[in-house]
Every structure is written in structure tokens, then in C-alpha cells.
Structure 1
Amino acid sequence: MHSPAIAALVFACAALAACTTSPGLDALNSVGPSQETTSSIVRPAAVVPEGDSDGLAVEENEAGVTALAEPDVVTAEAAEKVALIVPAKPTSRPAPPVAGGKVVRQRFRDAHPINFGKVTPGDHAVHGVDVSRWQGDINWAKLRGQGANFAWIKATDGGDHLDPMFKKNWRAAKAAGIPRGGYHFFYWCRSASSQADWFIRNVPKEKGALPPVLDVEWNHLSACKKRPSRETVLEKMQVFLDRLEKHYGQRPVIYTAPDFYADNLKGAFPNHPFWLRSVAAHPSKVYPGRKWLFWQYSGSGLSHGVDGRIDLNVFRGSTGEWRKWLARAAG
């Protein structure tokens, strides 16, 4: 949509050869907590503080769901203010590299260490974490210093729940220089398209972010007791994955656990990267024949910067391969 005010704004920017913009806000209203968690998370007795809000104005759509209220007309007063801005001096500095280029050696501990045999998590150079509201307030700078070279952050589950710590974790992880991506816990009693829309509404499309993750598993704590057929599971997953890939321009990662994989995913989605939970044996024994990119090897990790336990993961590859993958996947 065009207007005289917008034209004035464009003319003012061109005359000054530079314009300033405000950083995008990612705040959205959160709703009440659901009962969905990954199987590796133990619920604490203490109440976890709610995530903070950026105070962005919202409006309600026809479905009764809040959405960002964004003006589509720039006033003449706003254009006049832009015309008074002094342009910044041109700079020849190159754009900053994608966060996470430097790999920090891991210093994590494990409350229940496992003997994985010949190939252990310690043989991998690049370690990271995944978190949700159950980790409470995280000191991301300390976590980075402990060897968190990447982080998957719980964002959504189902079609109506936003993790109350997601926005805070999303911003703080970036500020600490940790490449991070959001993950969605799939709820089998909702349509795939509505869940994809909910994730897209809440997780920013941001340069430098890791690809989105679809978390698929059976959860005995879930209010949804459905266990669809393999055919239905794969159909729902395909709808969700396609919607996210189209929106973010990144091939989503699939996270899963042994029982769900055995029931549904053997031989499926050969072109998608997999993040596998395997806390008692090496993934090659639990998921024979499956190529994987990330391995969740512990649900009982201990680290400075986090009270309680945290999930620990590794990237399959050297530091050089990590940098190449990161530049390609998050660049």
C-alpha cells in the first residue's frame, strides 16, 4: 500500500543516503502452560518465573487469537522526523560473522554418566544444550563459557502454548553469542497446519538462527492419548515440515526418541537432518542405519549458569565441519 507519507519518507531517506531502523520486536502474548514436555525433562517443584514482555501492541483476529498490530501507513509527522536524522558515516567494515564461529571446549558434568563404549560424547568437538521453562532463569554467558556452542530452545507445543521463557531465552542466548533455534513439541490431537501456523507466529524468522526443530515422540504425560498410524504420523509431519521450510527457508531438523522412531521413522525423511535422543547407548546401536546430525546424550547434565539439570548434545563433525554447516544452515 502506498501513500504520500510513505513517498515523503522514501524521498527523505534517499536525500540523506542513510536511514535508521529500530530492531524488530519478537514479543507475543503467552498462554497458560500445557502438559507437554520432552521425555527427558523432570518437572521441578518450584514455580518457574514467567517470561517478560516487550510490550508490543496486539490485536485480536477473527479466530480470537492475538496478532501483532502493525501500522501500514506512515504519517507525515513521522516522515518529517526521519528527515532530521543525521546520516551515519559510511563504514567499510565487513558484516559480523554468524555467532558461534568460535568453539568452546565443553566442561559439562553429568549426574548419571554413561559408558558409551569406544565412541563417546567426549570424542565430539562441538557440544550444546536444549532448554525450556524448566531450567528457569539461565545465565547464558556462563553457559556459553561451559561449552554451549549451540542451543535449542523450547518455543511452542500444540496449537496454543508458548513456553513462557522462550522470548527471554531467545534474546539472552543471542546476546551471549550462542547460535540458537526454536523447537516445537508436536501434539497428535491437533492439525499439523494449525501447529505450524502457531510456531511461525511465535518464532522470529531471523538471519543467524538455527533451523527450526520438530520434536516428535510419544509422551505418556500428555492429555492427548492418540497414537496415530505410521501413515498418519508421516503425513502430519510432512505438512508441518513443509510449512516451516517454506516460511524460514531452512530445512527443519527432526528430533525423536527410540520408541517413536521404531514405530514410525525407520527409513522415513532421508533428506532431513536428525537429532536423536540416545542416553544409554551410542546412536548407531539404537538407530541402526540412520544418519544423524545431533545427538542428545544426556538428560542429567550439570553446568554453571543453570540450576538443576540440563540436556546435553553434540554435533556430529569437526569444528571445521560445524562452521561450514552453521554458515550454510544459519547464514
Structure 2
Amino acid sequence: MRFSAVSAIVLACLTVSGCGSSSSRNNVTAEQPSRETTSSVARAASPVPSANVGAIASQAPPQQEMLAWARPAPEAQAFAPVSRTIGMPVPSERPIAMITPDNPAIEATPGTRGQIYGHRFRDAKPINFGSRSPRKLAVHGVDVSRWQGEINWEKLRTQGANFAYIKATDGGDHLDPMFKKNWRKAKQAGLKRGAYHFFYWCRTAGEQADWFIRNVPREADALPPVIDVEWNGESSCKRRPSRERVLEKMRVFMDKLERHYGQRPIIYTAPDFYRDNLRGELLDYPFWLRSVAAHPSKVYPGRKWIFWQYSGSGLSHGVDGRIDLNVFHGSEEDWHDWVAARST
């Protein structure tokens, strides 16, 4: 009788203790986060270099009589890249805390206007452009190729490179060996960037367009593609087609790019080639003009333009050697509006 009573008491205690322990384990398990992830949760990419914030350029009154902004081609919407979200949406009742990288990218989020960095370039051969100096325009940029070597894009941006045109291809079989790296790094540094093709007069226009399209990605935030047309005495191709043939080849190339990228290409040219082939022609295309000794209005009278290459001897932190300097024709507000129109 005494043994039975003690046993009953011990048994009751063990039962109570077991229930308490089980409850405690359940509570601990419920408080720990699940280690499972789903494909709808995108992992953060590796951190990208950040850039120091520079001074904002003062806005100079734009020379409105020379503006030549290209409107999107009528069929542009049909070819514009479409942004899609891949994977199932994350349930709103279980928000996921995202960890911000130590060095977040400085690229502006869609729909916002990025900072404009003021002009801080130097020039090995400075030119006095008088009252119409490019320094009075707000948005400066550069164009680069393999000859600039390794570029520190973050430093280059804070020096005043708000945009960059990057050499991609020439002819029908040559890819600039630095294009892919420059394309990626310029975007990471927050520059608006576009690609250009050096046109080779000894290959068909269709072959060259196909080669450019094969190597330059179609991205919603890219600037319009550029066709670089000029006489190059150092080229292995010595052919100089007639004016009619030049215009025919250019149109074939540009039409093909416009259909693919949904943006009208920009024409880059130099004074002698312009004089021989483009004066009074292609008035419905935007132009990027090389003019390193005088204002474009003197070298290309009557021609509207969107970019002006005003120096081939620029100096800047972030680049060893010289670099081409360019400026957009308009104010900061004009620039933001023009970029927004290209991105939709």
C-alpha cells in the first residue's frame, strides 16, 4: 500500500515533467526561422563599387535653336524590351528582411532621376570656344574603346562622365576586346551608356548590322546605338564609295538596328566625311558631331545635333592617357526628359 502510493506520486510527476518538456521544445522550434528558400526570392548580387558624391553642375541656358532630339521610332514600343518578374510573388504576410550591401550600386532606381556630376575634366590641348563653350552645358560624358585600357568607372563618373558611348564593333567580324567589361562596369558605376559601331566600307551593311546585334544586348536603359561614319586613312579598307552608295549603305544598317532595338540610331561623323556625304541629308536622324576646334554651328552650319565631341585630348582621374570628351545639347532637365523618352 505505501509502495503503491509512492509509485503513483512518482508516475504523476514524470507525466507532468514530460508534458512541460514537450511544450518547451515546441516553443523553441516555432521561434526559429525556416532555412528553406524559394526561387521567388532573389539573392543579392555581389556588391559593386560606390562613387563619391560630387557637386551638381549649374544649369546653363540651352541653345534651343540647335536641339535635335530623336523621338522614338513609331514602331519602338513593339520592340522595346519587357521587364518581367520571374518566380512566385513573396506572400505579403511574411515580409523578408533584405540586407543592404556594404557598397550599394549607385544606379538610380527606375522612374527616378540620377545625379548629374559637374564637369571636372582637364584637357591636354584646351581650346577657347568663346561664349559658346561646352563648359556652359550641363551634362558631359565620354566615349571609350580598348585604347583606354582598364578604366576606373567610379572615379570617371565623379569627374563628370554622366554618360559613356562604348566601342562595340567594327566591320563584320571585330569585337572590341574591352566592350563587355566596359559595358558592365559603366552600368555598375551608374553611367548611362550606349554602344557604337565603326562602319567599314568594304563589308556589306547587312553583315555589319547583324554583327552589332549579335554582340550588343538589347536593354531598356541603354542609350540609342550609334553608327560611326568617317574616312579613316589608317584602315585597311581604302574604298570611298559615292555619296549615293554611302547613304544607301547607312540606311540599310540603321534600319536594321532600329527594328531590333526600337530606337533610331545616332549618326557620329567628322567634318570631312560630313562635307562629302551628309550635308543636307538624313534630316530625320539625330547627329553626334566631332568639332574640336570650333563650335558645331561653324563647322556644320544649319545641322541640328544632340551630342558634341569637343575634345580628343581629355584628361581625367580613372583613365590613363587621353580620352574623348562630349557634351549633351541641353540642360539637366532636358537630359532627364530625353533619357526617360529613350527608356520607355
Calculate the TM-score normalised by the size of structure 2. 0.70
> Counterpart in 1 of 2:143?
130
SS at match of 1:284: helix
What amino acid is aligned across from residue 179 of structure 1 in structure 2? K
Per the alignment, residue 307 of structure 1 pairs with: 320
1:181 alignment partner, SS class:
strand
Q: Residue 90 of structure 2: which of 82, 88, 91 is its match?
A: 88
Find the partner of 2:246 among 229, 233, 249.
233
Give yes or no for contact 1:99–1:177 (8 Å, CA) kept in 2: no
In structure 1, the residue matched to 2:278 is 265
User: Cα offset for 1:99?
Assistant: 8.0
The question of whether the paired residues in 2 share the 8 Å contact of 1:153 and 1:181 is answered with yes
Counterpart of 1:102 in structure 2 is 115
Residue 322 of structure 1 is matched in structure 2 by 335
The code of the aligned residue for 2:162 comes to: N
Mapped partners of 2:151, 2:91: distance in 1 = 38
Q: Could you say what secondary structure the match of 1:184 adopts?
A: strand
Give the length in aligned residue pairs: 253
Q: 1:89 to 1:116 in 2, by over 3 A?
A: farther
* Separation in 1, partners of 2:297, 2:110: 34
Given that 1:244 and 1:252 are in contact with CA atoms closer than 8 Å, whether structure 2 keeps it comes out as: yes
Residues 218 and 100 of structure 1: CA distance in aligned 2, closer, same or farther (over 3 Å) = farther
Structure 2 unpaired stretches of 5+: 1-37, 46-85, 96-107
5 Å matches for 1:31-46? none
SS at match of 1:114: coil
Q: 1:230 to 1:240 in 2, by over 3 A?
A: same
Contact 2:39 2:88 in 1 (8 A): no
Counterpart check, 1:294 vs 2:307: yes
- AA in 2 matched with 1:226: R
Q: Indicate the residue corresponding to 1:115 in structure 2.
A: 128
The match for 1:146 is 159
Once residues 127 and 223 of structure 1 are traced to their aligned partners in structure 2, the CA distance between those partners, rounded to angstroms, is 33
Change (3 A) 1:311 1:322: same
Please identify which structure carries the higher helix content. 2
| Shift in CA distance, 224/22, structure 1 to aligned 2, threshold 3 Å | farther
Please provide the CA RMSD for this pair: 2.3
The change in CA–CA distance for 1:191 and 1:100 in structure 2 (over 3 A counts) is: farther
What is the alpha-carbon distance in structure 1 between the residues aligned to residue 144 and residue 208 of structure 2? 20
**Paired letter, 1:160:** D
Q: One-letter code of the match for 1:145?
A: T
How much has 1:276 moved relative to structure 2?
0.2
Residues of 1 paired with 2:274 and 2:211: CA distance? 25
1:132 maps to a residue whose letter is S
Amino acid of the structure 2 residue aligned with 1:88:
V
Match of 1:5 in 2: none
How far the C-alpha of 1:330 sits from its partner, in A, is: 3.1
Alpha-carbon shift at residue 269 of structure 1 (Å): 1.0
Structure 1 counterpart SS, 2:131: coil
> Counterparts in 2 of 1:47-86, with a 5 A limit?
none
TM-score (normalizing by structure 1):
0.73
Tell me how far apart the structure 2 counterparts of residues 179 and 115 of structure 1 sit (CA, whole Å).
28
Q: Contact (CA 8 Å) 1:100, 1:149: kept in 2 or not?
A: no
Residue in structure 2 matched with residue 166 of structure 1 by the alignment:
179
Deviations along 1:61-86, whole A, 9 cap, x unmatched?
Answer: xxxxxxxxxxxxxxxxxxxxx9xx88
Deviations 1:22-73 (A, max 9, x none): 99xxxxxxxxxxxxxxxxxxxxxxxxxxxxxxxxxxxxxxxxxxxxxxxxxx
Larger Rg: 2
